[in-house]
Structures are given as structure tokens and as C-alpha cells.
Structure 1
């Protein structure tokens, strides 16, 4: 490497360090908090994402594979598009077969803080047929995290924090962290625990109330949700928003739509610019943070088939 190129790299690094230092000094202690919460990445634990090998793919060829449908010996996925409340909503109807399960994958195969990648990149790395963004666990210091049967975080966010538990048998349940520990959930065969929320549907009824409909929840935004209709039949849902084509959904509107799909349990995941659906190698929706450009936001994790 030439001295000129080395000097250029060092100069860029120095400018970045000085810029961060300047912002920190300008904002004082709050600047450190902002940097720690949103910028500085920390790796806590290596996490091996489960990957479908090319050899197993070749022995399990899809009988159907189009832009809106996929089926093989283990799963069936059908993509449908709806429009409600001046918003496009994309629904993946999923049927799992032969003991298949809903899986999770982490950015960079790392459990940590602010360790991120796009939904499509993470999905591609594990050969996912279908994926949606998860709960963005890495933006918070608390809230239960169990992924693919591994306990990664046991600190409770609050007693009232509603989590979605996906058990090894494929069933789903909404729990409150004040009612059960993460260790107890693991002992009861929890396979995934997602801690964003709130619950949208419980026992087939809308679970969102006026206390949930505050701030951004009342506003129309891109949304991501997951739900179960009955045994082995699920829906992965993503809505667009913040564009001239799609205004987005409130939490109540999302819950009412999930009820329309006849789900018995449904849960709200990270939304806004994170909301992304990936299917058969393509991004299905139009992810956007500010409405000015269509671009994925990097996230901590995905939920996938």
C-alpha cells in the first residue's frame, strides 16, 4: 500500500474520530448516551445462524417457485397483497410441514448491541425463502432474547413488557415479562422469544387498547407483524408507509387487519424504516425511513422460513 493511500485512510479515520469527539463535547453527557445507544457497536457473543446447505437444497427441490409462491417438502408460502386504509399490505401465508420451524438469524452471526445488517443480506446468508425484520433487540439493553432455543438475554424490560413466545411445537403465546423469567420460558421449550410489541391479537380478539395507541402508535407508519392462524399455519405481514402510495397503519388498524386474516395470536414487531419482507431472493415491499428514498434499514435480526 502506498504512503499516499495510507495517509488518506488515516486522514479519513482522524476526521471521523474528531467529528464524533466534537459532537460528544457539543452535547455533553447526553452525546455519550446517544452514541452508545445508536452508534457504538458491541459484540457480546458469537451466534451460529442455522444455514440450509446447498446439498440439502438439491435433495429438496421446490415443486413450486414463483414471485408469489413457493412449496417444497417442508414448507409452503404464498404471498398476497392487500390495500387497507390507503396502505399496501403484504401477507405471506405460511404452512410448515415435516417438523419445520420458524427460525431467527442475527446480523453478522453475533449477539450484540448495534450489530446490524439489512434484512435481505441476513436472509440471503441463511438461504431463507421468506424473511421479515425482527424485534431489533440490539437497540435495547433489556427485554428477553431467546433465539433458536438459545437464551441470549434474561434481563426484563419491565413487568408489563409483552413478548411473543414461539415454542418448539410451533405454537405461539403472548406473555408478560413480570409473570415469568426467561429461564422458565427456556425450560418450557420456548424456541423464539421476541420482545417488541405490543400484542395485536389474543384468543382471536384485538388486544390493542387506548394505552397502546399513543405517540408513534397512533401515527400511520410502516409495520411488521407475525401471527398464527391454527396449527402449522402462520402469517408474516409487512405494510408500507410514509409514501404517496401508502400512508401506513396505526397499531389498531394493523390489529384489525390481522383479525381479518383469522389469526388467533398476533404480535407487532419493529416497524418504520425497519419494515421489510424478503421472498425468493427479492424485497417484496418498499422499505423507507423518511419517504424520500426506498431503502432498507440495517437491523439486528430477522425471523425467517
Structure 2
């Protein structure tokens, strides 16, 4: 045995115990703990980052978009349904309004038919005024039918806006910018050039010269706060106040009440027999009717009798009718011009006028 072989044998014998121990450790997998590391094995490990949250967030956004789209679609369908319902309700309302106004339209045609075709019409959101020429056997006349849509579209004015003064119907219409004007109540002169409204006169709900009880054939006629024609004889102010007059005038006599012609006092049948006339009347639906008859003078030989005016009122289906100031006072202004022929051959200044506005 050489020296090299002896050295190798000696190294193998020397290291054998260590190799055996290493092999034993590997075989039994003994847990080795280093000093200062006790308990590290008991500490729970943090789980690895979970990629799921990002996936879940993306999924939630997609679901929200779907829900939003469904909600928008539902709102759109709801809006369309609401619009359809609104249109249907509007159609129902229009039909109902048309049906409810049908009786009024039928009645209006019935009362317009006897008047014929209007020669001129003024139409606005405040009123409808129609002018009809009338050719009677003994006189020429005009009918003015007025539907007030705004109760302020008609008013009474005093000459010069002061009791004692007077102005023509045309002057009053121009001064106020009225579309239509017609002479109103009677008047009395005081002998010094002053012209005062006759008896009880109401302007703007106030008594111009106080209240005077109706006497003999005198009456009061005007419009109340609801825009309806009121009139008759009133013994006390309280009695007239209950009618809530907004404006009105006095004259003689009453021609018709509730569709029935009233007896004409003997005095007014002959004094004068015929004359230019102005009459105010009302229909069942509260439309107003004015009649203005022409005459050449006030001598009693031309114009209309009061009985003839009653016949016209009955023919035109008026309910209540009242005679206003006539003679040379009778004036009808329509759309800025005088349409009748006043008997004085010139316009007479009067104390009161009815005016209509568009």
C-alpha cells in the first residue's frame, strides 16, 4: 500500500461519522430552529394578492350600466305614456268644452238668424260686436249685438268726465279710444248751458248725484258687477244696491221684461208717436242687443213707435228691453264712424254714453 492510498483511507475513516449524520438528518427532515426565531412558524401568512377585486369592480360597473340603461328606458316609456295620457286628456277636455259650448252656439245661431247677416263685425279677446242693418216698413234701423268676454270691455262715461258737461258719442269714443259707442240715458238742462244725467246714475259703482226712487215711468238700467244687464224700478237705494250695479242710467219707459212686452204708458204712445229711438236689451245668455232707429226729425212723423221697437225685440228674441234717450240724441258709432243718421243733421252733445273696447 502506497503512502497516497494510506492517506485516502485515513480521510475516509475520519469523515464517515459526519456523512452518516448528514444522511440521517436528510432522512428524518428534522425541524431546525435558529436562536431568536422561536414562534415565527406560528405567525399566519398573509394571503397572496387576490386579483378578484378588480374583476368584481369591473363587473359592478357593467351591472350599474345595465341598470341605468333599464331605468332610462323605463323613464322614457313613462314619459311617453304621460305624454299620451296628457294628449288624451287634452282631447277629452277639448271635446267636453266643445260639447258644453254647443248649446250656446245653437242658441246664438237661433238669435242671430232673425237679424240676418252682419254687415260688419269687430272680434277680439274682449268682445264680439256685430252690426246688422234693419229695413222696417216705416223706418231704417241698426241692430248691434255684443258678446262681452271681458266685463271691463264696456263702460259708461259722462260728458267731459264731469256732471254738467256733455259731449257727442263720437267725441267720447275718440277720447277714450273706444271701438263702439252708443248714446245712453236721458238728461236735463239747468238753463245755464249745463247738462246733467237724468235721475239715478251710477258710475264705477258710485252714485253720481245720489239715489232717486223710481217715479212715474222712470226706470234704471245698467250692468252689474257680473256683467249682466239689470233694470227696473227701484223704490230704495238698498233695493238697487242688492243688484250690485257697476254703472247705469235712467230713462222711460220699460219695453220688455222676461220676454213679455210691457204696457206702454199712454203719454209715450203719442209724445211723440214716431221718433229716432235707441233701445238696450239682453238675451238669455247675457249678450246685449242695441237698436237704433233713424228718423228725420222729432215732430212725430218719422222714425219708429215704441210699439214697433217692442215688435223688433220680440222678433229678435230679446228677454228684457229698455228705451234709452232718443230723438236727436240717438247715435251709433261703430269702428270709428257714425253709422246712423242723427235727426239733428249734426251730432248732439249728450250727458252719458256707453262705450265698448277691444
**When the two structures are superposed, what TM-score results if normalisation uses the length of structure 2?**
0.59
Distance between the aligned counterparts of 1:153 and 1:252, measured in 2? 32
Shift of 1:166: 2.0
Deviations 1:155-214 (A, max 9, x none): 42653322214211122233213x232x55245411122211211111011113343544
Distance between the aligned counterparts of 2:211 and 2:125, measured in 1? 39
Deviations 1:265-294 (A, max 9, x none): 1111100000000010000100023xxxx2
Are 1:303 and 2:354 an aligned pair? Answer: yes
Deviations 1:192-243 (A, max 9, x none): 22211211111011113343544324x1110001111123411121110026
The answer to whether the Cα contact below 8 Å between 1:142 and 1:156 also exists between their aligned partners in 2 is no
Distance between the aligned counterparts of 1:274 and 1:180, measured in 2? 29
Distance between the aligned counterparts of 1:71 and 1:141, measured in 2? 31
The answer to whether the Cα contact below 8 Å between 2:146 and 2:288 also exists between their aligned partners in 1 is yes
Q: Hey, what does 1:222 align to over in structure 2?
A: 276
Distance between the aligned counterparts of 1:72 and 1:158, measured in 2? 37
The answer to whether the Cα contact below 8 Å between 2:185 and 2:197 also exists between their aligned partners in 1 is no
Aligned-partner SS, 1:235: strand
Are 1:146 and 2:202 an aligned pair? Answer: yes
Higher relative contact order (CA 8 A, sep 6+): 1
More helix by percentage? 2
Structure 2 counterpart of 1:167, from 224, 228, 238: 224
Deviations 1:5-58 (A, max 9, x none): xxxxxxxxxxxxxxxxxxxxxxxxxxxxxxxxxxxxxxxxxxxxxxxxxxxxxx
Runs of 5+ in structure 2 lacking a partner? Answer: 1-117, 190-195
State how many pairs are aligned: 229
Runs of 5+ in structure 1 lacking a partner? Answer: 1-65
Q: Hey, what does 2:304 align to over in structure 1?
A: 249
Deviations 1:127-163 (A, max 9, x none): 1111111113354686111023221122426533222
Are 1:105 and 2:157 an aligned pair? Answer: yes
The answer to whether the Cα contact below 8 Å between 2:146 and 2:287 also exists between their aligned partners in 1 is yes
Q: Hey, what does 1:196 align to over in structure 2?
A: 251
Distance between the aligned counterparts of 1:242 and 1:281, measured in 2? 23
The answer to whether the Cα contact below 8 Å between 2:282 and 2:289 also exists between their aligned partners in 1 is yes
Larger radius of gyration: 2
Q: Hey, what does 1:17 align to over in structure 2?
A: none
Distance between the aligned counterparts of 1:67 and 1:125, measured in 2? 25
Query: What is the correspondence of 1:108-187 to structure 2 with a 5 Å cutoff?
Result: 108-112=160-164, 115-139=165-189, 143-156=199-212, 158-160=214-216, 161-177=218-234, 179-181=235-237, 184-186=239-241
**When the two structures are superposed, what TM-score results if normalisation uses the length of structure 1?**
0.69
Rate the CA distance shift 1:142–1:126 in 2: closer, same or farther, 3 A. Answer: closer
Rate the CA distance shift 1:67–1:122 in 2: closer, same or farther, 3 A. Answer: farther
More strand by percentage? 1
Rate the CA distance shift 1:97–1:138 in 2: closer, same or farther, 3 A. Answer: same
RMSD after superposition: 2.3
Distance between the aligned counterparts of 1:232 and 1:213, measured in 2? 28
Q: Hey, what does 2:17 align to over in structure 1?
A: none
The answer to whether the Cα contact below 8 Å between 1:104 and 1:303 also exists between their aligned partners in 2 is yes
